[in-house]
Amino acid sequence: MDLEIKEKPWGREIWYAVTDRYAGKILEVKAGQALSLQYHRRKKETLYVQEGKGKLQLGDEILEVGPGQAFTIEPGTIHRIEAITDLRILEVSTPELDDVVRLEDRYGRVDGTAARAPFEPVPEIYRSYDIRGTYGKNLTEEDARRLGWAVADLVREKGEDRVLLCRDARASSPALATALAQGLMEGGVNVLDLGEGISPLLYWAREFYGVDGAVMVTGSHNPKEENGFKVALGPGTLYGEAIRDLYFRSQNEPKGVPRGRHRFLNPIPSYVDMMAGRIQLERELHVVVDAGNGAAGPIAPLVYRRLGARVTELYCRPDPEFPHHHPDPVVPENLRDLQKKVVELGADVGLAFDGDGDRLGVVDDQGNILWGDLLMILFWREILPKYPGATALVEVKCSQALPEEIERLGGKPEFTRTGHSYVKARLRETGAPFAGEMSGHFFFADEYYGFDDAVYAGARLLRILSREGKKLSQLTNDIPRYPVTPETRVYCPEGRKEEVIEGIQAYFQGRYPLLLVDGVRVQFPGGWALVRASNTQEVLVLRAEGKTERDLLEIKAAMEEALRPYYFLGPIPW
């Protein structure tokens, strides 16, 4: 029996092949960790708990699990495993239980005789949240065409025959979108093409047109040479193992299916109408919109003018060269022009967008940058009174001021891991009305659809500002501003990230309370520090916050001491 052991953030995954046609795995989930959502569309899955205790979310049910228990999960059922103690779970590999994936069905054949091993590495462009690479180097039109085959296969598997397609304003996006459409049609599905737009427009178009499958061609906030794809199917965008599965499906050229057709649609006027139907401003506001020459430029000003705001446009003409600054609103340098323009004009607020319009940056009337955790406090102040006692998700990188405010408002803070796909999934699991990330992704299930739409988030902020009758800077005056480091990236070889994370956990275990949702967040008496592994780069991500400057200095020193034994790490540029 061949074995392959894969280290995961939550534990280990042990793959084994029983024959050349069937495969199974053992999941070892560490205490305090959770196994990501899984989506099994073709097969049932039977889980046998061999050791340990934990919880299994099965659809809307929460079940206690322990040794000797077995659970059968029907195709398409969302499930999540949380370990209270170390868990060992067997996915049995017998065809009679329909629990194993036939390798030639899922992964295709290499040469017509030998099946691919389920643990075979996939190209580096297949990431945790999306598919992304450098155009012309490791991302080509052929990759896009083959992705079309894979998405078509998934869509037809669900008994559907349509896929929505949209693209951002990058130079390579038209060519990649054309190739993707070709692959989708070759795979037997019809393409409904929205042309150039933003990711939230595509997500909303799924609701508007009643189409489940959708692909966004976008490099988001990445360098202009990069591009990629976000694939939406089912309750949200695909991530994790579902992204890996797309690669293997893309190796099988479609055969015996009728070619699909290509139609163009323009949902932007209806999208603007929808926004105007949901948001009303109680007084006129002057808004400066900086789109960074990304795809949000032609759309966001339309929405805010329709709401009755006075809009000054800054870099709202799409330009793939991004000549003024990069469309990434979490980098302070990219907000400098917006800060100057807001102060110069005496505007009420400045709103900035990333390249595909799903992340929001905000500048107040004094030119101050308001980061994601502070904005979440403003949003929760509007939302939580409507949902007493609601679960409120807090990304592990956020200031302690956020959970403190949530508790003051009567909510129940729950820390969650970084990554928009993971946050969206947890939002659905918990039924929480709202969530957000430091990076500017905001997810409104309250009055909206639950996906990250920066244009809508901006509109909600405008509504709050119009109702309060105060300056934005005044609305945030009472929020504690604890001394905090920026998000700090430290070089770490890919294969040694987990070694460091586990070492840091062991170093602080028993000395301070630890949060292990995503990496290690150490709760010191005077603040906290976080170490987590980046999903996209060879780096560890560090952040620290203290109640006072002295607390912060001590926390940084403690973290540096804990990291000192790992000689292979780069410098820590707090």
Return the active site residues: 132, 220, 441
Q: CA–CA separation, 232 vs 131, rounded Å? A: 12
Q: CA–CA separation, 153 vs 367, rounded Å? A: 49
What's the per-residue H, E or C state across 238-272?
CCCHHHHHHHHHCCCCCCCCCCCCEEECCCHHHHH
CA 520 to chain CA mean position, Å = 19
Looking only at the bridges linking them, the beta strands covering 11-17 and 2-8 are antiparallel
**Could you tell me which residues come within 8 angstroms of residue 502 by beta carbon, excluding any fewer than 6 positions away?**
none
Residue listed under structure tokens 């979310």? 57
Beta carbons of 190 and 218 less than 8 angstroms apart: no
Helix then strand count (H, E) for the chain reads 15, 31
Helix (H) or strand (E) holding 73: strand 70-73
Number of residues assigned to the chain:
574
Give the number of other Cβ atoms within 10 Å of residue 15's Cβ: 19
Beta carbons of 79 and 27 less than 8 angstroms apart: no
Q: CA–CA separation, 435 vs 445, rounded Å? A: 8
List, in sequence order, the alpha helices (H) in 83-212.
Answer: 103-106, 141-157, 173-186, 199-209
Q: Bridge partners of 139?
A: 135
Q: CA–CA separation, 540 vs 208, rounded Å? A: 40
